[in-house]
Structure 1
């Protein structure tokens, strides 16, 4: 089968590799799409019924420049998966079950079911305090399907243990299913905060994760959600997603306006930008005894204004991916509490175009794109 494999920074290839066989205790899935980004007149024809949806993630772009900590090297295997580079990429994906290995619960899973993948890999050793306390996402050796091994969504098939596989509820599309993983990051960020229904929140940075934080806050009962975003295209996306107020930090005083609108400051502020300016804004815009959540992955460590934190008794916390949120989140999506996930798909491409129309598009046209879906079939281009 064909698969996108990661050899190291700047070296991503579409290879022909053996198709995974169905083995005891595993579920074999045919990939339809895996997520990358948005807004294009390039489409791919999808001729066959069984499929996986996968999307291109910001972490895929990051890996194009720097090897992720969650990945092994060419000589040192990952301590959990035992695999070395190259590994198959893609951790945001959904698909259709095509075979069940012996021992898999056939009352829960069946051939033909559409599923989404929860990709967190942790050691699950009884001696691991994180894994045994329900905090798998901060296991010392945490990794992800599509980064540390076990296959990945940018391929034609994967074969995974049931703990990674969740059945999509009726009415939830494969496109939406491919975005459950990044949506779970936003959901987890809200859950990690002090947020409670009725609170007012500010989201700084409205890229894909910022949008998913916004949608999660709305679903969980926020009374007001402001968004600060300098890019015109992304501000428009926030408006379309029904943000209460959308700020342009290049021309508006986000702090004073947030304090005015919320009568003293936001209860919770989510920094989804990861810049010195965004952190400074968050600490100023939050109310006394409010919470600031660091969501973005920092490339350059910031200077922390500890005086502001102490003076206002701010609670400062952060989040790392997600942690067993998929069941609760799928219920929320199925109940209609989170809508418009399909609308966040802005481009659909084939595996061969992963780098040129996926990675590089997210680098050069990042403000145009939310999620790019990648299909494993050979390129069948249609100009719309």
Structure 2
């Protein structure tokens, strides 16, 4: 079968690999779509800085490169391993791709998404979504309702990142929010906030094309922080009180510091994006109003269920920000995304795209 296989830095090949067979407790999927994630960009262009060590077997999965990529994916069940009873052949599913050790301090608390040895199917495991088929443990599958198609199914993973961030913010219906960054995760935060009953959402994004993309989805409080007065717009939208929650989906120090100063007293900033470099800020900014900063990582199985339920209610829309390419366009798409062009790219598992 055809697959997009990562071998080493800037070495990803479309090649033939053996078609897998499901072991007991496993399920074979015909993959539909797999999203290209920021993690894929880090692995492809700078694996040494990705936080993953590809020089030795993964401590949970035992996997080493070559590695089929694709950890944001959907597919259809085509074969069941012995003992599988929770899904049936023909079910359309999204895949919770997390592998965890079950022994570290995070796992002891049930926070498997923060496992110190975390792995991902399609990143640090055998198999992945950028192939015609893969096999996964049956307990990782989330069946999609009839009105949630496989395109949306491939977005469950990144939208769950955003959903988990909104859960971490402790926001309540009727409160106000600021999102820094209108890329795919920023858009996901906007969808999740709306689903949580938040209507006043200011979006700060310097890219004109990204502002246009989220505006087409219904966002109406948009700010270019490079040329407009963000603090003034926040004050106008909140009656001078500041926002209750803010999200850094940009990965820039300025996004975090500007979010802090625009919080209402006791407000919270949630860091969703990975930062390539550190930055300085004065912690007194937090002290004077008892505001706080929280980090967020990944998602739980419950977040997957919540996103799928929201999708079934019509809370998500792919218009204008999601594009689809074939397997043979993965490397070109990585380059385009790294250059800041495009939004969310889904790779069709059909070998001819």
Give the TM interval when normalised to the shorter protein: over 0.9
Gaps of at least 5 residues in structure 1 are: 32-51
Residue pair 1:72, 1:84 contacting (<8 A) in 2 also: no
Partner of residue 135, structure 2: 159
Q: What is the rounded CA distance, in whole Å, between the counterparts of 1:305 and 1:164 in structure 2?
A: 42
Partner of residue 296, structure 1: 273
Partner of residue 284, structure 2: 307
- CA deviation after TM superposition for structure 1 residue 21, in Å: 0.9
- CA deviation after TM superposition for structure 1 residue 342, in Å: 5.8
- CA deviation after TM superposition for structure 1 residue 71, in Å: 4.0
Q: What is the rounded CA distance, in whole Å, between the counterparts of 1:56 and 1:136 in structure 2?
A: 23
- CA deviation after TM superposition for structure 1 residue 260, in Å: 2.5
Q: Give the 5 Å matches for 1:227-376.
A: 227-263=203-239, 264-324=241-301, 325-336=303-314, 338-341=315-318, 343-346=320-323, 348-356=324-332, 358-364=333-339, 366-367=340-341, 369-376=342-349
Residue pair 2:43, 2:50 contacting (<8 A) in 1 also: no
Q: What is the rounded CA distance, in whole Å, between the counterparts of 1:98 and 1:72 in structure 2?
A: 33
Q: What is the rounded CA distance, in whole Å, between the counterparts of 1:110 and 1:71 in structure 2?
A: 34
Partner of residue 105, structure 2: 129
Gaps of at least 5 residues in structure 2 are: none
Partner of residue 7, structure 2: 7
TM-score by length of 2: 0.95
1:298-357 CA distance string (max 9 Å, x none):
000111221111112111111112122111221121122x121365322x222122101x
- CA deviation after TM superposition for structure 1 residue 141, in Å: 0.2
**2:44 corresponds to 1:53:** no
Partner of residue 205, structure 1: 181
Partner of residue 83, structure 2: 103
Partner of residue 151, structure 2: 175
Q: Give the 5 Å matches for 1:140-151.
A: 140-151=116-127
Q: What is the rounded CA distance, in whole Å, between the counterparts of 2:51 and 2:68 in structure 1?
A: 13
Higher relative contact order (CA 8 A, sep 6+): 1
**2:70 corresponds to 1:90:** yes
Q: What is the rounded CA distance, in whole Å, between the counterparts of 1:376 and 1:70 in structure 2?
A: 27
Partner of residue 39, structure 1: none
TM-score by length of 1: 0.88
Q: What is the rounded CA distance, in whole Å, between the counterparts of 1:189 and 1:7 in structure 2?
A: 32
Q: What is the rounded CA distance, in whole Å, between the counterparts of 2:50 and 2:254 in structure 1?
A: 26
